[in-house]
């Protein structure tokens, strides 16, 4: 079993070695894949209706519908590819728990308020956007607020999950993958190489000189 111990409080077995993590990730990937395939199926259905069933006058509004479906399919595919970053984080950081960490903004976005690893008395916020067809409420985020599990460094990127490791999701700061972010700031995060940019030159490695993950 891999363990992770630092001065920043990230102590214990890495999340990937915790029972239920692999199955939780598998469920999340399957759910996201189903969403992507659903958007693709809807696009083909809408295209068929546009070409075969509708009059010419209805083509223009249907083009807008097709564009929205393509947009959502691309977003869903992007979320699917993010699970590679999720896996890297889970193989490096341990799970931690936090209660009362969820805030809902006026724009119906969810904000996860987590302790700074180096300064536990201060907090760092990570936002989960509501999206085009999704409105986040305190009730919908109740499980996360009552028993949040998270892995990673909230100053850069985290994996969050509800009770039973359900609803596993990936969150990142806007500057986490920005090349203009200070290398010194990135290096301050425990093992950032595996979690954020494992192939980037100049990033710290683990104790054996290898980039984890």
Asked, for residue 210, whether it belongs to a domain, the answer is no
Domain carrying residue 42: 27-84
Residue 188 near residue 182 (C-beta atoms within 8 A): no
For residue 185, the model assigns a pLDDT of: 47
Could you tell me if 52 and 123 lie in one domain? no
194 Cβ neighbours under 8 A, 6+ residues apart: 88, 89, 91, 92, 206, 211, 212, 213
Could you tell me if 127 and 78 lie in one domain? no
Chunked mean pLDDT (size 10), the chain, 213 residues: 51 84 92 95 94 86 93 92 92 88 77 83 79 60 79 90 85 71 46 45 37 40
Question: Helices in 49-127 by DSSP H: which ranges?
Answer: 59-81, 83-90
Q: Note the pTM of the prediction, 2 decimals.
A: 0.72
Asked, for residue 80, whether it belongs to a domain, the answer is yes
Could you tell me if 68 and 155 lie in one domain? no
Distance (Å, whole) CA 48 – CA 58? 13
Could you tell me if 80 and 166 lie in one domain? no
């Amino acid at each position: 079993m891999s363990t992770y111990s630092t001065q920043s409080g990230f102590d214990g077995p890495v999340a990937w070695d915790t029972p239920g993590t692999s199955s939780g990730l598998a469920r999340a990937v399957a759910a996201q894949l189903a969403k992507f395939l659903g958007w693709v199926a809807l696009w083909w259905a809408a295209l068929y209706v546009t070409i075969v069933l509708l009059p010419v006058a209805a083509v223009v509004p249907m083009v807008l519908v097709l564009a929205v479906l393509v947009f959502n399919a691309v977003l869903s595919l992007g979320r699917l590819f993010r699970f590679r970053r999720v896996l890297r984080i889970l193989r490096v950081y341990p799970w931690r728990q936090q209660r009362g960490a969820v805030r809902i903004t006026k724009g119906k976005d969810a904000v996860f308020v987590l302790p700074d690893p180096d300064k536990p008395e201060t907090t760092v916020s990570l936002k989960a956007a509501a999206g085009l067809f999704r409105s986040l409420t305190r009730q919908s985020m109740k499980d996360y607020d009552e028993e949040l599990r998270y892995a990673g460094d909230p100053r850069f990127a985290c994996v969050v999950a509800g009770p039973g490791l359900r609803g596993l999701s990936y969150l990142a700061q806007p500057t986490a993958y920005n090349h203009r972010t200070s290398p010194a700031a990135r290096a301050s995060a425990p093992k950032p190489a595996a979690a954020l940019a494992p192939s980037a030159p100049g990033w710290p490695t683990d104790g054996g000189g290898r980039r984890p993950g």
